[in-house]
Amino acid sequence: MQMYFIAIVLPQDLNEKVLKYKNLMLEKYNCKVGLKSPAHITLIPPFWMEAEKEPQLIADISSLSNQLTPFSISTNNFSAFKPKTIFIAPSPNDQLNEVKNSTDEFFKNNSLYNIKIDTRPFHPHITIATRDLYKKTFHEIWSWFAEKKFQEQWTVEGISILRHNKKNWDVIYTSQFKTL
């Protein structure tokens, strides 16, 4: 069994900008969890699956993506799930919500993967620091991030599958949305 998740991965140039903040959190506060994956917006959280199903998962994500079209996402600075997570907040985006709904619907109706769909409201975010961010330092860290700007825009052109390598998350496949 391997662990996977489905996400929108940011382009490399934006990943490098996000990485600067993740590295800052490592250097100043020993926060490592955010560094285990590239900058992304989670669509389907981590799940376990037999590695033999991976080619079918790739084919299914490709098929799902062929029904979707590219769209733009903008970020709206930093935000937090107090007191444990600091993240970059995407601006509200109907197309992103549509991709999330399509992805959830696909996996809800596909018993091959046995994925439990999260019933909580979708709250897209690009994590900077999370599980190893401690309450005692959160307010100090948050007061710094609250003053910072992070306003970027990019075009989402596909969905990625990430697989855990027992240390970090690797992008193993990125689909392409249909072109108009």
pLDDT tens figures, 141-161: 999 999 999 999 999 999 999
Neighbour count for residue 67 (Cβ, 10 Å): 10
pLDDT digits (tens, 9 = 90+) for 12-47: 999 999 999 999 999 999 999 999 999 999 999 999
Task: Enumerate the domain spans of the chain.
Answer: 2-174
CATH fold group of domain 2-174: Cyclic Phosphodiesterase; Chain: A, (3.90.1140)
Select from 35, 41, 33, 53 the least CA-distant residue to 9. 41
Q: Distance between alpha carbon 18 and the CA centroid of its chain, in Å? A: 12
Rounded Cα–Cα distance for residues 13 and 4 (Å)? 24
Dihedral of CA 28/33/35/39: which sign?
negative
